Amino acid sequence: MAPIVTADTVQAARRRFFLEGGSPEGLVAAPILRSWQRCSSSGLDVGDRPQVEPMSSTALREEQERHDLLRRITRPEMMALRQEAKLTDSVVILTDGQGLVLEMTGNPEFAGRASRVALRPGVAWNEAAIGTNAIGTALVERRPIGVHGGEHFFEPHRILTCAAAPIFDPRGGLAGVLDMSGHASIRHVHALGLVRIAVEQIEHRLFERDFAGCSVLRFHEEAELVGTAREAVLVFEGERLVGANRRGLGLLKLDWSAIDSVRLPELFEAVDVSDEVKALRSRTGSILHGRLAAPPKSTPRRVATQARGPSAHEPVFDDATRAALERAVRLVEADVPVLVHGETGAGKEVFARRVHAGSRRGTGPFVAVNCAALPESLIEAELFGYEEGAFTGARRQGQSGLLRQADGGILFLDEIGDMPLAAQGRLLRVLQERQVVPLGGGAAIPVDFALLCATHRPLAALVETGGFRSDLYFRIAQYVVELPALRSIADREAVIRRVWTGLGGDEADVALTDETLAALAAYDWPGNFRQLAGMLKALLALAEPGEPLRLAALPAEIIQHRPQSGAVPRLPPETSPENGSLSALTLDAMARAVEECGGNVSRAARKLGIDRSTLYRRLIWRSGGPETRRPS
Q: Domain limits at 592?
A: 573-623
Asked if residue 208 belongs to a domain, the reply is no
Three-state DSSP class for residue 242? strand
- Sequence letter at residue 247: R
Pair 90, 169: CB distance under 8 Å: no
DSSP code string of 439-488: BT----EE---EEEEEESS-HHHHHHHTSS-HHHHHHH-SSEEEPPPGGG
Do 159 and 288 lie in a common domain?
A: no
The bridge status of strand 435-436 relative to strand 445-446 is antiparallel
Examine the domain organization and report whether 578 and 529 are in the same domain.
no
Identify the domain boundary among 458, 482, 506. Answer: 482
Q: What percent of the chain has pLDDT over 70?
A: 80
Q: Answer yes or no: is 430 within a domain.
A: yes
Give the three-class secondary structure for 14: helix
Query: Nearest 5 degrees, angle CA 206-CA 211-CA 217?
Result: 85
* CATH value at residue 598: 1.10.10
The Cα 434–Cα 403 span in angstroms is: 10
Residues 385 and 522 in one domain: no
Band of residue 562 on the pLDDT scale cut at 50, 70, 90: low
* Residue 149 DSSP one-character state: G
CA of 352: how far to CAs of 136, 290, 412, in Å?
20, 37, 7
Q: Between residues 505 and 349, which one has the greater pLDDT?
A: 349
Tell me how many helices (H) and strands (E) the chain has: 24, 17
**Where is the domain boundary, 482, 502, 533?**
482
Highest mean pLDDT, choosing among 202-206, 248-252, 543-547, 594-598:
248-252
What is the total count of domains within the chain? 5
Q: What is the pLDDT of residue 573?
A: 40
If asked whether residues 409 and 329 sit together in one domain, one would say: yes
| 114 pLDDT higher than 70 | yes
pLDDT in tens, 377-419: 566 777 777 655 444 444 444 466 788 888 888 999 999 998 8
User: For 25-34, 196-205, 423-432, which range has the lowest pLDDT when averaged over its residues?
Assistant: 423-432
Q: Are residues 420 and 343 in the same domain?
A: yes
Mean pLDDT (whole number) for 473-485? 91
Whether the Cβ atoms of residue 594 and residue 615 lie closer than 8 Å to each other: yes
Mean pLDDT within 307-331? 71
Residue 370 resides in a domain? yes
Instruction: Specify whether 130 is located in the same domain as 151.
Output: yes
Percent of the chain with pLDDT over 90: 33
Which of these ranges, 70-74, 88-92, 353-357, 440-444, has the smallest mean pLDDT? 440-444
pTM (global) more than 0.95: no
Statement: residue 522 has pLDDT above 60 = yes
CATH number of the domain encompassing residue 398: 3.40.50.300
Residues 242, 146 share a domain: no
- On whether residue 564 sits in a domain, the answer given is no
Q: Would residue 140 count as lying in a domain?
A: yes
Residue 300, in any domain of the structure: no
Structural domain contains residue 565? no
Round the average pLDDT of the chain to a whole number and report it.
Answer: 81
Integer Cα distance of 255 and 354 in angstroms: 18
**Average pLDDT value for residue range 611-629:** 48
Residue 158 sits in a domain whose CATH number is 3.30.450.40
* Range with top average pLDDT, 53-62, 444-453, 534-543: 444-453
What pLDDT was estimated at residue 442?
Answer: 66
Q: Is 282 helix (H, G, I), strand (E, B) or coil?
A: strand
Compute how many other C-beta atoms are within 10 angstroms of the C-beta atom of residue 546.
9
Lowest mean pLDDT among 113-127, 166-180, 555-569: 555-569
The CA distance from 554 to 552, in Å, is 5
Asked if pLDDT for residue 469 goes beyond 60, the answer is: yes
Q: Which among 482, 507, 522 is the end of a domain?
A: 482
pLDDT score for 567: 40
| pLDDT value of position 390 | 45
The answer to whether residues 150 and 2 belong to one domain is yes
pLDDT of residue 318: 75
Predicted pLDDT of residue 212: 65
* Average pLDDT over every residue of 188-210: 85
> Cα(231)–Cα(224) distance, rounded to whole angstroms?
9
The predicted model gives 28-51 an average pLDDT of 90
Least confident of 49-53, 137-141, 251-255, 386-390: 386-390
Model pLDDT, residue 507: 60
What dihedral do alpha carbons 243, 247, 250, 256 form, nearest 10°?
A: 30
**Among 153-157, 214-218, 267-271, 309-313, where is mean pLDDT lowest?**
309-313
Distance, CA of 80 to CA of 60 (rounded, Å): 24
Lowest-confidence region among 155-159, 306-310, 444-448, 449-453: 306-310
Q: Regarding predicted confidence, which is higher, 133 or 398?
A: 133
Q: Is the dihedral of CA 251, 257, 263, 266 positive or negative?
A: negative
Q: Please return the burial class of 428, using the count of CB atoms within 10 Å of its CB with bins 0-12, 13-18 and 19+.
A: middle
Q: Is 436 helix (H, G, I), strand (E, B) or coil?
A: strand
Residue 251 belongs to a domain: yes
CATH number at residue 554: 1.10.8.60
Give the pLDDT score at 570.
Answer: 41
- pLDDT, residue 545, reads 74
Residue 220 φ/ψ, nearest 5 degrees? -165, 165
Q: Are residues 586 and 517 in the same domain?
A: no
Q: Do 495 and 465 share a structural domain?
A: no
User: Do 577 and 585 meet the contact criterion of CB atoms below 8 Å apart?
Assistant: yes
Residue scoring higher pLDDT (401 or 13): 13
Q: Is residue 467 domain-shared with residue 589, that is, in the same domain?
A: no
393 and 354 belong to one structural domain: yes
pLDDT of residue 296: 62
pLDDT, mean of residues 256-265: 90
- Average pLDDT value for residue range 490-504: 81
